[in-house]
Every structure is written in structure tokens, then in C-alpha cells.
Structure 1
Amino acid sequence: MSHLQYFAYPDHGVRLQEAMHYSQAVRVGDRIECAGQCGWDAKTGKVPEDPEREIANAFKNVDINLKSAGGKGWSQVYKVRLYVTDLSDEFIGTFLKYLREAVPDHKPILTGVKVASLSGPDMRLEVEVSAHVPETNGV
């Protein structure tokens, strides 16, 4: 589809693009649609053992992904899809803490789904977002 622009952020994003034949984000007019971002380290791809660090990494990866596609980051996110293997109050509470910090000025729509597993055995969450990016951003 030649009218669409596809993006993969450096390091682990590019590795996934080459190994798995998918992009991290696509620009569709005034929107950026992001592939699910897990809590891996954006450079190494390693998933931390600490659940809070994993959640923090997922939020950073969403931000990196949006910016690599010409967006400004979390401030433009209007839709969040969350896939988790852990529905404990502590895990979801930590996710919500980071969501409030990432988008303090609005409340995006959110769909959350508990899944049996994700693409990696160590992964506990995957965050997929949609962002509105006015065409005037020059991308």
C-alpha cells in the first residue's frame, strides 16, 4: 500500500521488523497506529524480571514508537488496547499509574483483555495505541 508510511524504531524495533516481517507503526492520514509494545528494553529486546520495570518499558516503547513515526508521543494517544497475563490489583494499579502519568490532560479510551500468554514467555503485557497526529506535523 504505497500511500501508507511504515516505521520501525532503531535497535529492537528494526530487529523485529527484519526477523518477523512487521512494522512497529503505520501512518494513516492523521493517525498513527502502533503495533503492540511489550516491556522489552528498546535497545536489547530483553524483558526485565521486575513487573514495574516491564510496564515502564512498555510506556517508553510506545513513546519511542510514536515519535519515530512523526508523532509527539503519548499526548496524542486517544485509544489504548491492553493485553495482560496478570490481572492482579497490583499489576493493573501500576499500569494505571503509568497511564495517568503518560496522559495527564485527557483520558483515552481503553480496552483491556486478559490473555493466556503473549509472544514471549517472560512477557506480562502488550500495549497497542492509536494516536491522532494533525497532518501539519510534516510527515
Structure 2
Amino acid sequence: MKKVIHTDNAPKAVGPYSQAVQMGDFLFCSGQISIDPKTNEVFTGDIKTQTQMVMKNIEAVLTAGGMNFSNIVKTTIFITNMNDFATVNEVYAQYFKDAPPARSTVAVAGLPKGVNVEIEVLAHR
């Protein structure tokens, strides 16, 4: 049975989608961007801070779904500039010390709200 996951500890959806949807033992998380969930303000500054904010938002959604980073089996990273790859990777790696998930990284022309990184995850209980 499909269950919508929502938490006030992650940004509100900026469109017609859920923060995450749980189906059986899987948690399908929508992409997170650098929005502060407390103020709903978008941060478009340095890529390191953007990525840190994204990872905190992912953590909040995972927690709401009863999971954590060790449950993630696949991630997709969208970045607007491949020159930012090393910095994004540096922050991302801090969350996956052992057995990192499968991953794709895609350069895109633009992302919502003018941010430079968006990350979506798929987790399994």
C-alpha cells in the first residue's frame, strides 16, 4: 500500500509532489535542494553549503520514513556544473562511509529555484 511521507523538518514541496512515498519496504524520496525548512528560504551560495543543506534535508525525509543513510540503495545527483563534482562528492562521501549506494551524477541546464545541486534517493528497509 502506498503511504505518503511528510515532515516539517524538510522543505515543503515546491510543486505537486510528495517529499517521499513508501511502498512496501521501499522509500522513494523526491529530489532535495538547498531550502532551509525553518524559513523556506532558498540558498544559492557556495556549492559546499548547498550540498550540506541537501543532505540534511534528505536525512529529515529518511527519518520521517523510519530510515537513515544506511538504507539508501540508489542516489541520483543533478548538478548544473560538472566543475562542482569534486566538492559535491566530498560532502556526499561523508554520509556513506561503508557500502555506499549505487549512484548516477548528471549535469543539467538548470534546477528549481536557481540552485546548483539536487539529490534524490531510493531507500530500502
TM-score in terms of structure 2 length = 0.90
Distance 1:11 1:131, change over 3 A: closer
Per-residue deviation at 1:79?
Answer: 0.4
> Is 2:1 the partner of 1:6?
no
Structure with the largest fraction of helix: 1
Unaligned runs of 5+ in 1: 134-139
Query: 2:31: which partner in 1?
Result: 36
Partners of 1:36 and 1:78 lie apart in 2 by 15
Distance 1:12 1:61, change over 3 A: closer
Q: Which has the higher Rg, Structure 1 or Structure 2?
A: 1
Query: 1:92: which partner in 2?
Result: 85
Report sequence identity in percent: 27
Partners of 1:33 and 1:8 lie apart in 2 by 12
Query: 2:120: which partner in 1?
Result: 128
Q: 1:104 aligns with which of 79, 97, 120?
A: 97
| Alignment root-mean-square deviation, CA | 1.5
The residue type equivalent to 1:130 in the other structure is: L
Structure with the largest fraction of strand: 2
Query: 1:50: which partner in 2?
Result: 46
Unaligned runs of 5+ in 2: none
Query: 1:137: which partner in 2?
Result: none
The residue type equivalent to 2:34 in the other structure is: G
The residue type equivalent to 1:7 in the other structure is: I
Distance 1:63 1:83, change over 3 A: same
**Matched positions, count:** 124
TM-score in terms of structure 1 length = 0.82
Q: What secondary structure, in the 3-state scheme, does the structure 2 residue paired with 1:117 have?
A: coil
> Is 2:113 the partner of 1:117?
no
